[in-house]
A and B are shown apart, each in its own frame.
Chain A
Amino acid sequence: MNAIFGIVLILSTLILTFTSPDTVMSAFLSGGEKALTLTLKLLVVYSVWLGVFKLMGKSRLSEKFSLLLKPLNKFLFGKVPSTANDFMSLNISANILGMSGATTPMGIKSIRELEKHPNTEYAIAMFFVINATSVQVIPSSVLALRTSLGSTSPSDIILPTILATLLSSIIGVLLVKTFIKKPKR
Chain B
Amino acid sequence: MKYFIPILFLVIFIYSSVKKVKPYDSFVEGVKSAVPFTVSIFPYLVSIFILCELFEISGISKILTDLLSPLFNLLGIPKELTKLVLIKPFSGSGSLAVLTEIFNTYGVDSYLSRSACVIYGSSETVFYVASVYFAGSKTKNLTKPIIISLFANFVSCVFACFICKII
A28 at the interface (CB under 8 A from B): yes
CB–CB A161/B117 < 8 A: yes
Q: How large is the interface on A (under 10, 10 to 19, 20 to 34, 35 or more residues)?
A: 35 or more
B80 at the interface (CB under 8 A from A): no
Q: 1/0 per position for A134-148, CB-CB distance to B under 8 A? A: 101011111001100
CA distance A142 to B99 in the complex (A): 9
Interface residues of B in 40-93 (CB under 8 A from A): 41-42, 45-55, 57-60
A59-B21, A129-B149, A164-B159 given; A149·B38 CB < 8 A: no
CA distance A142 to B160 in the complex (A): 15
Q: 1/0 per position for A145-185, CB-CB distance to B under 8 A? A: 11001111100110111011101110110011001100000
CB–CB A99/B5 < 8 A: yes
CB–CB A151/B109 < 8 A: yes
CB–CB B144/A139 < 8 A: no
Min Cβ gap B45→A in Å is 4
Q: 1/0 per position for B85-114, CB-CB distance to A under 8 A? A: 000000000001001100110001100001
* Chain A CB within 10 Å, residue with most, of B52, B57, B114: B57
Closest A-chain residue to B128, C-beta based?
A: A132
A32-B49, A43-B38, A55-B26 given; A111·B137 CB < 8 A: yes
A82 at the interface (CB under 8 A from B): no
CB–CB A16/B58 < 8 A: yes
- Residues of B within 8 Å of A39, CB to CB, are 38, 41-42, 45
Interface residues of B in 13-55 (CB under 8 A from A): 13, 15-16, 18-19, 21, 23, 26-31, 33-35, 37-38, 41-42, 45-55
CA distance A149 to B42 in the complex (A): 36
- Residues of B within 8 Å of A68, CB to CB, are none
Q: Give the secondary structure class of A's interface.
A: helix
Closest B-chain residue to A17, C-beta based?
A: B58
- Residues of B within 8 Å of A131, CB to CB, are 124, 129, 133
Closest B-chain residue to A170, C-beta based?
A: B152
CB–CB B156/A164 < 8 A: yes
CB–CB B1/A35 < 8 A: no
CA distance A25 to B27 in the complex (A): 42
CB–CB A27/B53 < 8 A: yes
CB–CB B133/A152 < 8 A: no
CB–CB B159/A157 < 8 A: no
B121 at the interface (CB under 8 A from A): yes
A97-B1, A132-B126 given; A51·B132 CB < 8 A: no
CB–CB B58/A15 < 8 A: yes
CB–CB B109/A128 < 8 A: no
CB–CB A165/B148 < 8 A: no
CB–CB A132/B156 < 8 A: no
Closest A-chain residue to B28, C-beta based?
A: A51
- Give 13 pairs: A residue, B residue, CB < 8 Å, sorted on A: A13-B54, A27-B58, A34-B49, A35-B48, A46-B34, A52-B12, A55-B13, A108-B135, A128-B129, A132-B124, A132-B153, A160-B163, A164-B122
